[in-house]
Structure 1
Amino acid sequence: MNILISDELLNGTVTNQFEMLVESDQLTVAELITKRVTLEIENYNKRLPDYFNGLVQPKEAERTLNGYKLKAKQLIDVEKQVYIALSAFQKNGFFVLVDNEQLEELDQVVTLKNTSKIAFVKLTPLVGG
């Protein structure tokens, strides 16, 4: 089934939206994050556009208004990005909501429906802190 994925800010503003194919109606939060990150890295690596718009910033990139800009066009390592994303989730770098219910643990099992909506809510770091 195809599930709607959204990236949102705390105020509810949607900054990115796409559909992701999910083979099973049950998966863990870790599997959901891994699948999402893998999909976006594979899509980026196929085209190598100027900007990467993904869940987490690659180490070799700088944040810009249009997304993350890599210093030189290069492939992004899927395993590294998955590790960074899973770590960021555990450190509250972003929240995951499925049908407006917050998921809290990587091993938490999620049951999806055809109408399920998944939101990744990115937290922006405070400046000067």
Structure 2
Amino acid sequence: MNIMITDATPTGQETARLLLAGVPSPITLRELIRFRVREEVARHNARPAARFAGLITPSAAETALNGYRSRPPRRVDWEAAADTAVRAFGRNGFFVFVGDRQVGDLDESLTLTEADEVSFVRLVPLVGG
């Protein structure tokens, strides 16, 4: 199933949109975070660029306008990035909403439909990976 993912600021300003294809349902929040990061990293690694704009900031990256710049462009390890994202969620680095409902438990089972919009509200830039 296809799910629309949005990134937003705490004030509600949308900063990015990502269509995730092949999302299983039901899925736990932990699995959804890992699925999202794996997809972002796969897209980046297929066409390595100087900028990586995703849920986490790869290590050895510097902040650049509209993303993070790696010197030189490099492949990102999706598992390390996903682990970083899951840890960041546990430290309140970002919140996740399905529709207007906040999901607070990584192991909560989510039964998603294509009509659902999942929002990631980032509180601080996440570093790691």
TM-score where L is the length of structure 2: 0.92
Paired residue for 2:29? 29
Deviation at 1:23, TM superposition (A): 4.0
| Correspondence 1:85 to 2:85 | yes
Number of corresponding residues:
125
2:50–2:72 contact (8 Å) kept in structure 1: no
Paired residue for 2:69? 69
Deviation at 1:72, TM superposition (A): 1.2
Paired residue for 2:99? 99
Runs of 4+ in 1 over 3 A off after TM superposition: none
Q: For the residues of structure 2 that align with 1:10 and 1:53, how far apart are their CA atoms?
A: 18
1:76 maps to amino acid: V
| Secondary structure of the structure 2 residue equivalent to 1:41 | helix
1:41 maps to amino acid: V
Structure 2 regions of 5+ residues with no counterpart?
Answer: none
Paired residue for 1:115? 115
| Secondary structure of the structure 2 residue equivalent to 1:106 | coil
Deviation at 1:60, TM superposition (A): 1.4
1:73 maps to amino acid: P
Structure 1 regions of 5+ residues with no counterpart?
Answer: none
| Secondary structure of the structure 1 residue equivalent to 2:11 | coil
| Secondary structure of the structure 2 residue equivalent to 1:34 | helix
Q: For the residues of structure 1 that align with 2:23 and 2:9, how far apart are their CA atoms?
A: 28
| Correspondence 1:9 to 2:9 | yes
1:108 maps to amino acid: E
Q: For the residues of structure 2 that align with 1:121 and 1:40, how far apart are their CA atoms?
A: 17
CA RMSD of aligned residues (A): 1.2
